[in-house]
């Protein structure tokens, strides 16, 4: 039960709640001793013909009052104890979420989205049950068992108690063996549930792609296989779980059989009355709960232990980009980049090599190149999603690692190729990095991103729900919304990773004009497959196979007659043909 030791900090923080709940449980256990004793007296009184109607009503009233007291106390301790365990669940989910936000893409790649969802829901719930239901069952079971056994031994018959409890050691051994099996099988079942979650999440997220490719049958087969694995794993857990109750029932039945036989023998010897045997049998019935509690706790603890190990495996995963910086503010936004070589984790082929440039505040750098040339990788390094010994990036004369990650995220804003929107209103998506922004600032960002005309056509304006991942918006609208969100922030370096790829040429021209007029104070690094978007850049880098193949201004690159000039002529020809069509 080392999970209780692992949770000692939580128990220490909430010891008052557990202490009050413990006192109430003790009171419940003490009150629970009264009804069997009263029933025994009633039986002896009836047998001796000494009980009158008034006495019977008094005994009945005492039992009713005891039941009401137990009801009230049980209601109160459940409110107190479960409230504490729910706070543990809330704290764990916050820890998981905070750790998730701090992980680098390389570290996060080991955990599929569905797996993370399983850890934050099912696993947290299992630990929550251990801190609430299991603690309750342990305390209540032990307290009830000790008090009832004490009364049975010291006020009724120690010999009869010893005989009735003879089958219990066998039950304890069986519970221990089952607990070991349950822990292993529950761990496997949670892993299968994580895989099922991952497959389901990927199928839902890629629904359009599956339909477009006609791959529904393949996706259905993957889901069916993951579902079958999860079902079989849970059935294996259920097979172990289902053995608890029969063992307990057999133990209880054997105890009752022994107590009745032994009690009858003691009555024949005059060492026990019929009423005392009745009381003993009722007390023995009360011991059924501690026995069930023992099995229930073993079940919960093994589930909680397996879940806790899975949660800790995630929380103890270090980020490939540690947040060890001390500088909380980026004062100087001059960017100096020198990359000797960078390879993604687990790969030997360099993604970038022999690349260097300097970007002064307020200047624009264009990045172009064929697919797979390292453009997005460069922006990921600038945003410090990755770091490596061969990469040296200085901001304001200091290494990126010298800044706290939150300070760096405030200073550098990255608009990625994939438009990531949340299932909320347009306004809530816009003010994500600046919640205090007023309507004037929001509308200014909307106009710069050329989203104002689209906004006027939406039924609820800024209050329009965008749906999951912005499903109700077009690709161009999603991109412009993400651009407006970045512009609304207070970043001084803007990284655009092909952020206008889904926008038509006319809208692109308007957006670039707005950016030129209103963001001259920002340093801009623009990745684009449309060379027309980079004409005004002070310098353009052409990347090929991770290296700088060409560099210079738009005019200089055209004059050089290389890849840039060829691509420019091709794009101009394509635009002319499109206009004539």
- Which tens digit of pLDDT belongs to each residue from 552-575? 999 999 999 899 999 889 888 877
Instruction: Identify the band that residue 161 occupies on the pLDDT scale cut at 50, 70 and 90.
Output: confident
Give SS3 for 553: coil
**Residue with more model confidence, 61 or 216:** 61
Query: What are the pLDDT digits (tens) for 41-61?
Result: 777 677 777 777 877 888 888
Domain assignment of residue 373, given as a range: 335-554
Q: Is position 510 within any domain?
A: yes
Same domain membership, residue 309 and residue 344: no
Across 503-527, b (16+ Cβ under 10 Å) vs e yields beeebbebbbebbeeebeebbbbbb
Residues 403 and 500 in one domain: yes
Judged against a pLDDT cut of 70, whether residue 581 lies above it is answered with no
Do 356 and 482 belong together in one domain?
yes
pLDDT-derived band of residue 367, with 50, 70 and 90 as boundaries?
very high
Q: Are residues 257 and 296 in the same domain?
A: yes
| CATH number of the domain within which 186 lies | 1.20.1560.10
DSSP state of 451: -
Q: Which of the residue ranges 171-180, 432-441, 516-525 would you say has the lowest mean pLDDT?
A: 171-180
Q: Residues 22-37: pLDDT tens digits? A: 888 888 888 888 887 7
pLDDT at 1 over 70: no
- In a domain? residue 326: no
Q: Tell me the mean pLDDT in the region 239-251.
A: 79
pLDDT at res. 480: 83
Chain segment 321-353, per-residue pLDDT in tens: 878 888 888 888 889 999 999 988 878 888 999
Q: How far apart are CA 412 and CA 279, in angstroms?
A: 76
* 367: β partners: 527, 541
- What is the C-alpha R_g of the chain? 35
What does each C-alpha distance from 499 to 206, 414, 533 come to in angstroms? 21, 10, 11
Give me the number of domains the chain comprises.
2
Residue 208 lies in a domain: yes
Q: Which residues pair with 493 in a beta bridge?
A: 412, 523
Residue 7 per-residue DSSP state: T
- Measured CA to CA, the distance from residue 445 to residue 505 in angstroms comes to 20
Same domain, 366 and 309: no
- Confidence (pLDDT) at 207: 67
> Are residue 170 and residue 253 in the same domain, yes or no?
yes
Mind listing the pLDDT tens digit for each residue in 105-156? Answer: 777 777 877 778 888 888 898 888 888 888 888 888 888 888 888 887 888 7
What pLDDT was estimated at residue 539?
92
Whether residues 284 and 351 fall in one domain: no
Q: Is the pLDDT of residue 187 over 90?
A: no
Query: Are both 139 and 218 inside the same structural domain?
Result: yes
In this prediction, residue 217 carries a pLDDT of 78
Q: What is the pLDDT of residues 454-507, one digit of tens each?
A: 777 877 777 877 777 767 777 778 888 888 888 888 788 889 888 877 777 777
Same domain, 288 and 365: no
């Amino acid at each position: 039960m080392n999970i209780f030791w692992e949770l000692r900090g939580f128990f220490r923080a909430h010891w008052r709640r557990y202490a009050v709940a413990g006192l109430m449980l003790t009171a419940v256990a003490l009150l629970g001793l009264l009804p069997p004793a009263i029933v025994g007296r009633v039986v002896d009184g009836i047998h001796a013909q000494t009980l009158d109607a008034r006495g019977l009503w008094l005994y009945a009233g005492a039992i009713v009052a005891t039941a009401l007291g137990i009801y009230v106390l049980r209601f109160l301790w459940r409110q107190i104890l479960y409230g504490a365990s729910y706070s543990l669940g809330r704290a764990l989910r916050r820890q998981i979420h905070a750790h998730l936000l701090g992980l680098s893409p390389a570290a996060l790649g080991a955990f599929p989205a569905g797996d993370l969802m399983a850890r934050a829901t099912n696993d947290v719930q299992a630990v929550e049950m251990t801190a609430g239901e299991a603690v309750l069952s342990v305390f209540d079971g032990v307290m009830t068992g000790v008090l009832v056994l004490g009364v049975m031994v010291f006020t009724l018959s120690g010999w009869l108690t010893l005989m009735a409890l003879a089958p219990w050691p066998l039950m304890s051994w069986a519970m221990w063996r089952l607990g070991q099996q349950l822990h292993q099988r529950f761990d496997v079942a949670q892993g299968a549930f994580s895989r099922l979650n991952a497959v389901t999440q990927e199928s839902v997220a890629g629904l359009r792609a599956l339909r477009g490719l006609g791959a529904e049958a393949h996706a259905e087969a993957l889901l069916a296989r993951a579902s079958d694995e999860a079902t079989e794993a849970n059935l294996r857990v259920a097979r172990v779980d289902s053995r608890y109750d029969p063992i307990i029932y057999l133990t209880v039945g054997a105890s009752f059989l022994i107590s009745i036989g032994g009690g009858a023998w003691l009555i024949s010897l005059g060492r026990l009355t019929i009423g005392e045997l009745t009381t003993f049998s009722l007390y023995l019935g009360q011991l059924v709960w501690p026995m069930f509690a023992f099995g229930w706790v073993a079940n919960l603890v093994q589930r909680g232990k397996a879940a806790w190990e899975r949660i800790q495996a995630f929380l103890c995963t270090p980020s490939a980009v540690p947040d060890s910086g001390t500088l909380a503010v980026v004062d100087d936004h001059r960017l100096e980049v020198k990359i000797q070589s960078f390879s993604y984790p687990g790969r030997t082929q360099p993604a970038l090599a022999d690349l260097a440039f300097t970007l002064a505040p307020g200047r624009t750098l264009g990045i172009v190149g064929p697919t797979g040339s390292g453009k997005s990788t460069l922006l990921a390094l600038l945003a410090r999603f990755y770091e490596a010994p061969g990469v040296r990036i200085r901001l304001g004369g200091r290494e990126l690692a010298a800044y706290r990650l939150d300070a760096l995220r405030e200073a550098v804003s990255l608009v990625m190729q994939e438009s990531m929107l949340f299932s909320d209103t347009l306004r809530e998506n816009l003010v994500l990095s600046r919640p205090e922004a007023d309507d004037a600032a929001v509308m200014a960002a909307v106009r710069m991103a050329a989203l104002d005309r689209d906004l006027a056509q939406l039924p609820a304006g800024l209050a329009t729900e965008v749906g999951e991942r912005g499903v109700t918006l077009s690709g161009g609208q999603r991109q412009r919304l993400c651009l407006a969100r970045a512009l609304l922030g207070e970043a001084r370096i803007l990284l655009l990773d092909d952020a206008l790829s889904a926008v038509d040429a006319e809208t692109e021209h308007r957006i670039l004009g707005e950016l030129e007029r209103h963001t001259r104070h920002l340093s801009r690094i623009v990745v684009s497959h449309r060379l027309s978007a980079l004409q005004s850049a002070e310098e353009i880098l052409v990347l090929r196979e991770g290296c700088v193949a060409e560099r210079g201004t738009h005019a200089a690159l055209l004059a050089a007659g290389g890849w840039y000039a060829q691509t420019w002529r091709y794009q101009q020809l394509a635009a002319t043909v499109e206009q004539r069509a």
